[in-house]
Amino acid sequence: MIHPRCCLLCCRVGAAAAAAAECCPCALSSPPVCQSFATFHMNLPAASAALPLPSPLRGSVLLRDCLEAEAGFLLVQLIKAALAGEGALGPPPAPLPPPPPGQPPAAAASCRVVLLAAAQSASHYSAVLRKAGLSLPTLVGAGQLSVVELLPALAAPAGLPSLRDVHARLAAVLTGEAAADSRQNSGICLIVDDLTALHCLADSPADWAAFLHACLAVGQAPAGAFVGLAHSGIPDDERWLAQLEHAAAVVIDVEPLESGRSADLTGRLAVTVRDALPARLLQQAGPGQQAAPAEAAAGGGGDGGVAPGTRHFCYRLGETGARYIEQAV
């Protein structure tokens, strides 16, 4: 069974997607959820809660959504966090501890981002990143962001590419990024915007397993990160999605509100941290510097460490991003 979110030849290729590329990430909703952002701003606390993510962004993060509540808005925020060397989606992370005498201060451990765009076009990401204060052409020109785009291949006479072709293109980009990162002492953050659609391109289970293994290997590398978005509710995908969930350090489920979208709230999130995530996870200490304090490694303390468990948030989409408010369970 082919799920409507699984096919690359969906309405995203049509005029609706082209129009959405020129407006905010929530433009495809009806009505646009950003219309009542002013009301939301008045009713919620001035400070948005921060989602419990490693800072800087490291390891594997699974985003899981459904037809009623899409997780695409998180991708843009995670791209921005990876480029800035941050992980929290909300208030800025705690400052780095002062270096020992005679040592230069530690810099934020930013990543070079590779975006595998299967669900949206590069022009769409250019528009939404611009609203987030980033310029895609500038980032690409500076070597901070690489985009592997699949939608132009739909217009080719050969039609849809195979997953093997996509894997080969991605591997070539990652190899080039790894060589540059070894010179600049930075990591790679791979972001895949639609694993469900890519699964439809696989000719065999072995091809799909090899692709997922390669993605997870990026997140397991020193100073590396992998973020993958998949859609729930597809029986044929349950097995590999469960395997990906088991391998992820953080799983974020985007769900609709039981009462439906309101003027003040768009949906809710369940953020599950599978292992303790210390603040400044996997950050490389400079010569003579000490690693993160022991209490951070325990996942507690006031330095931004994240303890295992599940926390629930409501969120509200606005023209410039999302705001979060934590729910007491």
Q: Give 218-236 pLDDT, tens digit per residue.
A: 999 888 999 999 999 899 8
> Would the pLDDT of 55 be above 70?
yes
- pLDDT of 89 reads 55
For range 31-45, the mean pLDDT:
38
DSSP-H helix ranges across the chain: 15-20, 37-43, 72-84, 122-131, 136-141, 163-184, 195-199, 205-220, 238-247, 294-297
DSSP 285: P
Per the CB < 8 A criterion, the answer to whether 13 and 151 are in contact is yes
pLDDT mean over 114-142 = 92
Contacts of 325 (CB under 8 A, 6+ apart): 44, 45, 48, 49, 313, 314, 315
* CA distances from residue 75 to 61, 70, 146, 175 in whole angstroms, order as listed: 11, 11, 15, 23
- Residue 270 sits in a domain of what CATH number? 3.40.50.300
Count of structural domains, the chain: 1
Q: d(Cα 150, Cα 155) in Å, to the nearest integer?
A: 10
11-33 confidence digits (pLDDT tens): 333 333 333 334 343 433 333 33
Q: Give the residue-averaged pLDDT of 308-315.
A: 91
Question: What's the mean per-residue pLDDT of the chain?
Answer: 74
Q: State mean pLDDT over 131-140.
A: 92
Collapse the DSSP code of 93 into the 3-class scheme (helix H, G, I; strand E, B; otherwise coil) and give the result.
coil
pLDDT tens profile 248-298: 999 999 999 988 878 789 999 999 998 755 444 333 333 333 333 333 333
Q: Confirm whether 302 is domain-assigned.
A: no
87 vs 31 pLDDT, higher one: 87
Domain extent, residue 53, equals 12-90+108-281+311-327
Q: Is residue 178 part of a domain?
A: yes
- What whole-number distance in Å separates Cα of residue 78 and Cα of residue 84? 10
User: Looking at the predicted structure, is the pLDDT value of residue 303 above 70?
Assistant: no
74 occurs within a structural domain: yes
Do the domain assignments include residue 61?
Answer: yes
Closest CA to 119 of 8, 240, 15: 8
Residue 1 lies in a domain: no
On the question of pLDDT at 329 being above 90, the answer is no
294 part of a folded domain: no
Domain for residue 288, yes or no? no
State residue 312's pLDDT score. 93
More confident residue, 161 or 209: 209
Q: Is the pLDDT of residue 38 over 50?
A: no
Rounded to an integer, what distance in angstroms lies between the CA atom of residue 220 and that of residue 314? 30
Largest CA distance in the chain: 63
Q: Is the pLDDT of residue 147 over 90?
A: yes
Answer whether residue 292 is part of any domain: no
